Structure 1
Amino acid sequence: MSDISLTAAVLLCVAAALAGWIDAVVGGGGLLLLPALLIGLPDSSPTYALGTNKAVAVTGTSIAAVTYARKAPLDRRLALRLGGLALLAAAGGALFASAVSKEALQPLIMVVLLGVAGFVVLRPRFGLTPDGTAPRVPSRRRTLGALLLIGVGIGFYDGLIGPGTGTFLVIGLVGLLHMSMLRATATAKIVNVGTNLGALAVFAAHGTVLWQLAPAMAVFNMAGAWTGARMALTRGNTFIRAVLLTVVTALVARLAYDQWLS
């Protein structure tokens, strides 16, 4: 940690804990963690922030995935298929991370997120299917669409940029496969482990992970993720939906600030 002050390291660990909690509940922890790394590592290339972010995030998503898998209703076979595709797609996205202008993508992402927020507000029953009931079985066509959009599309995005991936996963799983918020969140954590692993492998191979900083942040991230997953399991769909809207709003605000005010 010779390249970073103790104060900055402590603040980054706190940010990692909060990001782990957000990510475990509904996704979007990168909204907090990636900007924190960019601010805390002002003399490093942005690719180091991206790589270190993945090294930290994969620990928290893994803890959350295990916690959900033990107690939440989910289709493990589907989750693993999506996660496998997402791992490969995220690795592909990470290969292009240093060559793509993030500024060019931010307006598009904001439009999508505003659409997501409007949809959830206008559909008050969205994702509130009781978890004790049998979920609607999606058609093979919808399942194939989910594999392509969620596994490949969102996976590639996570490797390329990342923030908001968990939120996109939850929305896609609820919208395409008729899952409840809790079931979608549990499934998203398994898929997100795949996207983080795929991207991390590429960043690590290129030497853009700060291994002297990542372990300490990972411990805090795991603690936050464990707490968030247990809260989501206890409080259920309504709580997750409320956090989802809060995270989407924060994502839009952060992207708008980066685009026009920074």
Structure 2
Amino acid sequence: MSDISLTTAVLLCVAAALAGWIDAVVGGGGLLLLPALLIGLPDSSPTYALGTNKAVAVTGTSIAALTYARKAPLDRRLALRLGVVALLAAGGGAVFASAVSKEALQPLIMVVLLGVAGFVVLRPRFGLAPEGAAPRVPSRRRKVAALLLIGVGVGFYDGLIGPGTGTFLVIGLVGLLHMSMLHATATAKIVNVGTNVGALAVFTANGTVFWQLAAAMALFNMAGAWTGAHMALARGSGFVRVVLLTVVTALVARLAYDQWAT
């Protein structure tokens, strides 16, 4: 990675810190981190961006998961089951990631970004309900559906592409299992650790991780995740909406420019 300039490395580290913060608070840090890597590593195969992204993300997600596990309401048994299923599914998704070209990947990421932005705009009260209400106990059928849709579906997606996984996990957990926003965010971090580990194992085996760059970015990502998790526990996630929409809009504009500018 000697061809990466110091300016690019610094900017990627800043992006990693912001991504860790966003991911810990509301999920979706990959919406910032993966596009940043694609932009910062224009001459590399997209599988290197995907692999390096996972090497960075697993550190910040683990810090956030440990923080939530100590201080937030969490069904550890359910979270671990979902995490194991998602780990295996993410590994399967990562196997197919090498078949995705950069030309196809960037428009696909833009679609995902716009979808997440649209959901946030159209559901302004999502996750903002008071946390004091008694939790609803999900049925066995809903738990099985969660294992299939969240564990397998989102897990495979995270291994294949990744951006928005944390947000999709939170949305699925709230919608399927009637979790509160804080409970869903805490659970999502456990599951996200599994998806990151599963995908990273495959990318490592294929040698598509820039480890030196990932190590530097991981330090910033962990700092951002630690800060974000504590802010979410103290203040809730509503304040992240404007930041998330701003980041999504900027990334879509930049990726569109890179894709179609002549």
Name the structure 2 match of 1:58: 58
Aligned equivalent of 1:128: 128
- 1:185 Cα deviation after fit: 1.0
Q: Compute the displacement of 1:35 (Å).
A: 1.8
In the other structure, the counterpart of 2:207 is 207
Change (3 A) 1:122 1:10: closer
Aligned alpha-carbon RMSD (Å): 2.6
Contact 2:16 2:218 in 1 (8 A): yes
Shift of the alpha carbon at 1:184?
A: 1.0
**Residues 1:103 and 1:245: Cα distance change in structure 2 (over 3 Å):** same
Matches within 5 A, 1:1-262: 1-100=1-100, 121-239=121-239
Unmatched tracts of structure 2, length 5 or more: none
Contact 1:93 1:158 in 2 (8 A): yes
Structure 1 gaps of 5+ residues are none
Q: Which amino acid aligns with 2:78?
A: L
Report deviation, 1:5: 2.1
Task: Name which of structure 1's ranges 64-73 and 6-15 shifts more when overlaid on structure 2.
Answer: 6-15
Q: Deviations over 1:154-193 (max 9, x none)?
A: 0000000111111111111111111111111111111110
Distance in 1 between the 2:132 and 2:240 partners?
Answer: 16
Q: What is the TM-score normalised by the length of structure 1?
A: 0.88
Is 181-190 or 249-258 further displaced after alignment? 249-258
Instruction: Evaluate the alpha carbon distance shift between residue 27 and residue 254 of structure 1 in structure 2; reply closer, same or farther with a 3 A threshold.
Output: farther
Q: What letter matches 2:205 in structure 1?
A: A
- CA distance, structure 1, for counterparts of residue 180 and residue 252 of structure 2: 24
Following the alignment from structure 2 to structure 1, what is the Cα–Cα distance between the partners of residues 110 and 17?
25
More off after superposition, 156-165 vs 21-30: 21-30
- Indicate conservation of the 8 Å contact 1:164/1:251, yes or no: no
How has the CA–CA distance of structure 1 residues 92 and 129 changed in structure 2, closer, same or farther, with 3 Å as cutoff? same
Aligned mates of 2:61, 2:220 — CA distance in 1: 12
- Cα separation, partners in 2 of 1:122 and 1:62, compared to 1, 3 Å: same
In the alignment, the residues of structure 2 paired with residue 99 and residue 88 of structure 1 have an alpha-carbon distance, to the nearest angstrom, of: 19
Sequence identity, in percent?
89
Task: Provide the TM-score with structure 2 as the length reference.
Answer: 0.88
